[in-house]
């Protein structure tokens, strides 16, 4: 293994060798090496096979921007070999290979290229049968063309998120970014600088004659306390109002910046000729990165294709590194290497004016043809121009235009707190880049009201020379690649235009140009040039395709949310656990399902039901929504929100609340207790209270009634004591409330003190039994509960859970909004016309209810019961269909076995014409069996309501 002597290779630590395996073979590099550099140092240039033709491919950019350098790690597919550092024992394999990288059994695909013209996917894989694509072609293509392999047993990794804020975010730590960041920080701005590479400096870390400037900038940056430098950090998108995701390893920094300077640099572009994808052909910047970062000699005998001053600098670098320089080829008419060319000439290098038309070699470059002459070489370096890194600016609304005179893309920024500086702004020389960065920094300082100067834009004599417009003609034998990721050749794009495609967006979809991992970084300009020429338009007219986030691939872990779903517990959670409750999640809440040993569930639930029907039970109803509606207009407000009338409701009385939306659909119910002329305490269903609260304020934002609504759901806890002996329990409590039949009638409510706790008491319930509901501030919940349990000892008061509650409510035929109603249920369909005021001039949904009533009753919720053994399968369960003439007309919404009535009971929507009591309806059980039942009322138990009003 030979490396260039220091100072070449400042990123590697020659004292620390690191061994790893690539395709089973052991290689040794140094600490700081990336996979591609250590392989190149060992003369292993081939890294992968291409996507479609399985051609040998190696590194081209050393910047992590093409698919050819993607390799497989054991639990990580598509890792960039030119950016991923090696570690001891790392196992690396090549991707997209059938067999081995060196002997790919699919290499013959290269010879079949003419049978796979552009767009052939769309034509070939349609037949022969209807499902041929899904059954045959797609699996085959996935196997042939897929990139890495996902390890479904990969170890779990932790991903973190953080929020960052700053005055100025500078994206890119090259000469421009560093200068701008330092300039702004020195003037007092709070600055973050994000750099993708492991070190700051950008092109200064590998470009010729840059070390003094870099040294100076690094020193100044270190001296700025208000400049936060984040290396290895990818800025993966721009979102509205300067919100940018910064990704470093497994951590996502959601960053909000007042001002942003994009100093993202430029992307060097490859040249187009036959076999331009052979390993050994690379960009000038790639050769410089190999030498200066990793001390890797990129070849032994080189040809340099130089169309700009940087090309000549690379040639000088290669000479310094001991590479034999066969020739410098300058495609510009007359060439214009200037002083740099003279420096080369004095070292005996000849310059050839002309172009490279073809490269030769099988697995590595062997020679190139320049102007008809074949020149043996193992390295071809291309410096023919660059495009600004347009992705982030364009995501932020910048427009990309083409400057015909200088053969380059220009960016025009939108009117926003956003700036560009340096080579992304079309500048090239150190002086111009630095001045431009200072200019942008002072624009930012002016916006931030910090000391600033006005600095004029800069002219860069060198930038004028940086690009030239090549004539791209398709090589007769093809394999002149525009997009290496997708194996797109010049003729593919030309054919697409012949097929009638003119718009780049459509050409992209038809040919897949720019769809690979490089996302057009190396193909957008060439594609625009080819399409412009083929359609007789200017490049300004063809443009480029839309840039969208993300800038580079990101792992799903970075995007995933946290793993802590919101979870709510009542004040009595620990008490329920102490009593042996089986706690289950209901929405966000945890509620007791039943109390006792899980193996006896059914028996225990039956006992809980029996306790309520025959004695007394208590249910924690703290999850119930609670709203306080207060103000002079409170009655009027409730009149408009709910279907019943509340203005004349006496203080100390409860009234049912039914809420419909504007479409006349039932969306919630509850109970309103009037505590004072201007104060109602309103309950809402557990799942809907947040929405009801929002809706109430939304309507009042429009009505502007003098009323205030407060969501007190969490502030109050509640317990419902229910059963024939409930009165004995509450009367045994130490309280100032008269709980007697005479003193506290059904549907009355009051405030008082129980066991020293302030309570709101209501004679309401869901079970159909004598019920008292006591609500108290949640901080007192345990005290009140313990007092209730103590008071209930004489009658063996039993706490019961949610399942018993469901049975009790169904026995009584009470509906559950959301279970027995859906998005269309009207009050009429529930038989709730008694709950809809006919005299009120307005409530939400009134008009729609009337309009729907005029159209007739399409369905109605009916009670149904089935005399079948408890475990019988011949009983329709929830969501089973109700059939009429074999056509579904409704479904079962609730179905349970009633231990009280010893039969199955259900609520179901039946056809509107079948809603009369006694009408036989047909239902289809889950097992397919059809059963008949007569329509009943909702209340299966105590239909005359005798028990609850005692």
* Binding region for another protein (CB under 8 A): 239-241, 243, 254, 256, 662-663, 693-694, 697-698, 701-702, 704, 711, 841-842, 846-848, 851
The residue whose two tokens read 């890194």 is: 389
CA distance 408 to 403: 5
| Closer Cβ to another protein, 235 or 875, answer by number | 235
Q: How many alpha carbons fall within 13 Å on the CB side of residue 108?
A: 3
Beta strand pairing call for 716-722 and 617-620: antiparallel
Shortest CB 841 distance to another protein, Å: 7
Shortest CB 711 distance to another protein, Å: 7
Shortest CB 510 distance to another protein, Å: 29
93 - beta bridge partners? 72
Contact 472, 271 (CB under 8 A): no
| Closer Cβ to another protein, 296 or 707, answer by number | 707
| Closer Cβ to another protein, 699 or 746, answer by number | 699
Token code pair at residue 517: 């991992």
Helices (H), 223-308: 284-294
| Closer Cβ to another protein, 258 or 675, answer by number | 258
| Closer Cβ to another protein, 363 or 853, answer by number | 853
DSSP letters spanning 527-559:
HHHHHHHHTT--HHHH--PPP-S-SS---HHHH
Shortest CB 686 distance to another protein, Å: 18
Shortest CB 694 distance to another protein, Å: 6
Shortest CB 245 distance to another protein, Å: 10
> What is the dihedral sign for C-alpha 548, 554, 555, 557?
negative
Shortest CB 655 distance to another protein, Å: 24
Shortest CB 257 distance to another protein, Å: 12
Contact 313, 292 (CB under 8 A): no
DSSP letters spanning 47-71:
EEE-TTT--EEE-SSSSS-SGGGEE
The residue whose two tokens read 């040993």 is: 597
Shortest CB 833 distance to another protein, Å: 19
| Closer Cβ to another protein, 154 or 697, answer by number | 697
Length of the chain, in residues: 950
| Closer Cβ to another protein, 846 or 891, answer by number | 846
228 - beta bridge partners? 192
| Closer Cβ to another protein, 235 or 504, answer by number | 235
Shortest CB 560 distance to another protein, Å: 16
| Closer Cβ to another protein, 586 or 848, answer by number | 848
89 - beta bridge partners? none
CA distance 440 to 171: 13
Contact 234, 264 (CB under 8 A): no
| Closer Cβ to another protein, 667 or 795, answer by number | 667
DSSP letters spanning 345-405:
HHTT--EEES-EEEEE-SSS--EEEETTEEEE-SEEEEE--EEE--HHHHHTT-EEEEETT
| Closer Cβ to another protein, 18 or 849, answer by number | 849
Question: Could you say which DSSP state residue 855 is in?
Answer: T
Shortest CB 727 distance to another protein, Å: 39
| Closer Cβ to another protein, 662 or 833, answer by number | 662
Beta strand pairing call for 568-569 and 708-711: unpaired
* 939 phi, psi to nearest 5 deg: -85, 110
Contact 378, 367 (CB under 8 A): no
Q: Please enumerate in sequence order all residues whose Cβ is within 8 A of that of 693, keeping only pairs 6 or more positions apart, or say none.
A: 625, 627, 684, 709, 711
Token code pair at residue 832: 């709730």
Minimal CA–CA distance to 897: which of 594, 603, 592? 603
Shortest CB 333 distance to another protein, Å: 45
The residue whose two tokens read 């951590």 is: 251
Shortest CB 697 distance to another protein, Å: 5
Q: Exposed (0-12), middle (13-18) or buried (19+): which is 920, by Cβ within 10 Å? A: exposed
| Closer Cβ to another protein, 693 or 739, answer by number | 693
Shortest CB 843 distance to another protein, Å: 10
> What is the dihedral sign for C-alpha 183, 188, 193, 199?
positive
| Closer Cβ to another protein, 164 or 474, answer by number | 164
Minimal CA–CA distance to 527: which of 516, 511, 551? 511
């Amino acid at each position: 293994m030979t490396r260039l002597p220091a100072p070449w290779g400042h990123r590697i630590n020659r004292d620390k060798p690191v061994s790893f395996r690539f395709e089973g073979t052991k290689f040794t590099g140094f600490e700081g090496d990336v996979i591609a550099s250590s392989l190149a140092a060992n003369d292993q240039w081939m890294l992968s096979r291409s996507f479609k033709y399985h051609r040998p491919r190696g590194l081209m950019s050393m910047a992590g921007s093409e698919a050819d350098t993607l390799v497989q790690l054991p639990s990580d597919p598509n890792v960039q070999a030119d950016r991923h550092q090696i570690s001891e024992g790392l196992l690396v394999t090549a991707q997209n290979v059938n067999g081995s990288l060196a002997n790919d059994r699919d290499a013959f695909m290269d010879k079949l290229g003419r049978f796979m013209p552009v767009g052939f996917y769309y034509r070939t894989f349609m037949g022969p049968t209807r499902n041929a694509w899904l059954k045959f072609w797609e699996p085959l293509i996935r196997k042939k063309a897929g990139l890495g392999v996902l390890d479904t047993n990969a170890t779990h990794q932790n991903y973190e998120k953080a929020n960052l804020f700053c005055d100025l975010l500078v994206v890119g730590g090259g000469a421009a970014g560093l200068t701008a960041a330092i300039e702004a920080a020195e003037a007092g701005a709070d600055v973050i600088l994000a750099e993708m590479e492991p070190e700051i400096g950008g092109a200064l870390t590998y470009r010729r004659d840059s070390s003094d400037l870099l040294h100076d900038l690094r020193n100044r940056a270190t001296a700025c306390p208000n400049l936060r430098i984040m290396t290895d950090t990818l800025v993966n998108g721009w979102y509205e109002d300067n919100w940018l995701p910064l990704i470093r390893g497994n951590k996502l920094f959601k960053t909000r910046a007042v001002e942003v300077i994009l100093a993202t640099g430029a992307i060097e572009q490859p040249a187009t000729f036959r076999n331009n994808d052979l390993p050994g052909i690379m960009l000038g910047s790639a050769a410089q990165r190999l030498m200066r970062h990793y001390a890797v000699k990129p070849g032994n005998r080189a040809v340099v294709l130089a169309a700009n001053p940087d090309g000549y600098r690379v040639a000088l670098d290669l000479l310094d590194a001991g590479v034999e320089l066969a020739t410098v080829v300058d495609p510009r008419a007359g060439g214009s290497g200037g002083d740099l060319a003279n420096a080369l000439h004095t070292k005996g290098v000849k310059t050839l004016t002309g172009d490279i038309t073809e490269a030769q070699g099988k697995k590595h470059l062997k020679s190139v043809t320049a102007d008809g002459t074949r020149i043996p070489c193992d390295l071809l370096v291309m410096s023919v121009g660059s495009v600004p890194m347009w992705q982030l600016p364009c995501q932020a609304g910048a427009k990309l235009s083409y400057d015909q005179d200088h053969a380059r893309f220009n960016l025009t920024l939108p009117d926003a707190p956003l700036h560009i500086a340096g080579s992304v702004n079309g500048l090239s020389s150190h002086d111009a880049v630095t001045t431009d960065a200072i200019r942008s920094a002072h624009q930012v300082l002016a916006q931030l009201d910090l000391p600033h100067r006005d600095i004029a834009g800069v002219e860069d004599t060198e930038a004028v020379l940086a690009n030239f417009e090549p004539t791209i003609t398709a090589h007769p034998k093809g394999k002149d690649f525009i997009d290496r990721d997708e194996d797109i050749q010049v003729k593919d794009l030309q054919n697409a235009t012949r097929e009638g495609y003119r718009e780049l967006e459509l050409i992209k979809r038809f040919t897949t140009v720019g769809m690979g991992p490089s996302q057009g970084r190396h193909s957008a300009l060439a594609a625009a040039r080819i399409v412009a020429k083929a359609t007789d338009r200017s490049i300004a007219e063809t443009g480029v395709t839309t840039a969208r986030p993300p800038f580079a691939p990101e792992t799903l872990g970075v995007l995933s949310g946290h793993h802590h779903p919101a979870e709510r517990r009542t004040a009595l959670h620990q008490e329920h656990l102490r009593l042996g409750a089986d706690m289950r999640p209901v929405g966000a809440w945890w509620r007791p399902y039943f109390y006792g040993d899980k193996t006896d569930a059914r028996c225990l639930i039956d006992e809980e039901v029996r306790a309520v029907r025959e004695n007394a039970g208590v249910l924690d109803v703290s999850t119930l929504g609670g709203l306080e509606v207060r103000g002079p207009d409170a009655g009027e407000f409730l009149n408009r929100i709910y279907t019943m009338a509340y203005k004349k409701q006496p203080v100390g009385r409860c009234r049912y609340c039914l809420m419909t939306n504007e479409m006349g659909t039932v969306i919630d119910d509850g109970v309103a207790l009037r505590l004072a002329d201007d104060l109602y305490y309103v309950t809402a269903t557990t799942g809907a209270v947040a929405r009801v609260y929002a809706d109430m304020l939304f309507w009042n934002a429009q009505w502007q009634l003098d009323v205030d609504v407060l969501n007190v759901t969490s502030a109050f806890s509640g317990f419902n004591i229910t059963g024939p002996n409930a009165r004995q329990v509450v009367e045994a409590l130490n309280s100032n409330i008269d709980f007697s039949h005479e003193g506290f009638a059904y549907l009355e409510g009051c405030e008082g003190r129980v066991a020293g706790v302030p309570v709101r008491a209501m004679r309401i319930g869901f079970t159909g039994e004598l019920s008292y509901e006591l609500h108290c501030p949640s901080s007192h919940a345990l005290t009140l509960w313990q007092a209730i349990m103590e008071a209930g000892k004489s009658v063996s008061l039993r706490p019961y859970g949610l399942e018993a509650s469901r049975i009790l409510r169904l026995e009584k035929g009470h509906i559950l909004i959301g279970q027995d109603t859906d998005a269309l249920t009207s009050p009429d369909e529930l038989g709730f016309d008694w709950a809809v005021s006919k005299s009120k001039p307005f409530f939400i949904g009134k008009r729609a209810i009337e309009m729907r009533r005029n159209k007739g009753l399409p369905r109605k919720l009916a009670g149904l019961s089935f005399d079948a053994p408890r475990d019988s399968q011949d009983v329709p369960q929830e969501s089973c269909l109700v059939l009429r003439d074999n056509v579904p007309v409704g479904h079962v919404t609730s179905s349970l076995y009633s231990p009280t009535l010893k039969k199955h009971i259900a609520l179901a929507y039946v056809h509107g014409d079948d809603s009369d009591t006694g009408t036989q309806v047909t239902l289809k059980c889950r097992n397919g069996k059809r059963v008949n039942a007569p329509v009943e009322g909702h209340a299966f138990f105590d239909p005359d309501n005798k028990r609850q009003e005692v």
